[in-house]
Structure 1
């Protein structure tokens, strides 16, 4: 009697472990160019809010560390009250706020590029940002999404014309959008999904 594994013509017949990647032949489509939305489970609004609040705390901590280093090198004399105490306090507050802005502008793009769409807040709430076309999140894409669209376009430009209402609408928009997208997600074609 002959062995059916040898006569079947299938070189992988008889193996009990799965074949290695690429052993099944050449793929017909590039997985990075096709949208992968079929397998996504969209994040809810409350998870996004939780991630935002956690990231805000992280940004303030990072800014505090930067400010502490700056104060150590510049001399902490401006923090001690004297005849110029009010001016020193205003300058210290402005310096801290500058540290917050720099930390906020760098934090999300750097984290998202290293972790493919996650920040510490998103990691803790189990969500991440993905591109609708399935490509990974790059630093340039994260800068466009987080800095140019969220901060500059919606926050600074539209927010100044609408007295901050544009920012509020941007953050509330996922509540009634069928794909749970904010306005900034629509501009850059991204989704926030469960990780």
Structure 2
């Protein structure tokens, strides 16, 4: 079993962590036997991100096509309001793109599958620190925390390669784990 405090491996029937001395509660022992299979590594998580990025790019491309056709139709009709219409369409697309990305990640990661389509393809899931499905509120917090992970040359994402539980900054903030299914 893995210690929830320091991440060290211990015997399944241990009462204390051999590395840090942390006392295991009964719930930790039960959760540790279920949760800690293997933490998904940096490259597996990156691969899932690339798949998700491709899917979202296609969906956003469809939206751009719809907005471009609408704007083009307004311009060719000779309408005097084509420019304000075009600007409102651009702002509408930006809002729709943000909403699409937000809903994609929060709804899929808090669903019964516990994963986006990219994560499903690579056999990884998002859990809370006890191995349970995350709530919509936690998925929402995890999504918005990714802004911090992306700041300063994406160091928050790169952290996943170096932390004991392979957690990125947004995982630490939201108390989530990404593990192999």
Instruction: Measure the CA separation in 2 of the matches of 1:58 and 1:136.
Output: 23
Residue 150 of structure 1 pairs with residue 141 of structure 2: no
Instruction: Tell me how large the CA RMSD over aligned residues is.
Output: 3.5
Residue 191 of structure 1 pairs with residue 177 of structure 2: yes
Number of residue pairs matched by the alignment = 154
> Per the alignment, in what secondary structure is the counterpart of residue 97 of structure 2?
helix
Structure 1 gap ranges (5+): 1-28
Change (3 A) 1:41 1:76: same
Residue 171 of structure 1 pairs with residue 160 of structure 2: no
Contact 2:112 2:133 in 1 (8 A): no
In the alignment, what sits opposite 2:47? 50
TM-score, structure 1 as length reference? 0.63
Contact 2:110 2:139 in 1 (8 A): yes
In the alignment, what sits opposite 2:128? 131
Contact 2:71 2:89 in 1 (8 A): no
Structure 2 gap ranges (5+): 1-25
Change (3 A) 1:57 1:99: farther
In the alignment, what sits opposite 1:107? 104
TM-score, structure 2 as length reference? 0.67
Q: CA deviation at 1:64?
A: 3.5
Instruction: Tell me the alpha carbon deviations over residues 102-142 of structure 1, each in whole angstroms, 9 at most, x when there is no partner.
Output: 11111111111223420000011111111112332221221
In the alignment, what sits opposite 2:13? none
Instruction: Measure the CA separation in 1 of the matches of 2:75 and 2:123.
Output: 40
In the alignment, what sits opposite 1:121? 118
Instruction: Measure the CA separation in 2 of the matches of 1:141 and 1:86.
Output: 40
Change (3 A) 1:39 1:141: same
In the alignment, what sits opposite 1:40? 37
Instruction: Tell me the alpha carbon deviations over residues 146-189 of structure 1, each in whole angstroms, 9 at most, x when there is no partner.
Output: 13x223xx16xxx6xxxx31x61011111111211101111122
**Rg: which structure is higher?**
1
> Per the alignment, in what secondary structure is the counterpart of residue 115 of structure 1?
coil
Contact 2:167 2:178 in 1 (8 A): yes
Contact 2:110 2:136 in 1 (8 A): yes
Instruction: Measure the CA separation in 1 of the matches of 2:160 and 2:77.
Output: 47
Instruction: Measure the CA separation in 2 of the matches of 1:60 and 1:79.
Output: 26
In the alignment, what sits opposite 1:77? 73
Residue 59 of structure 1 pairs with residue 56 of structure 2: yes
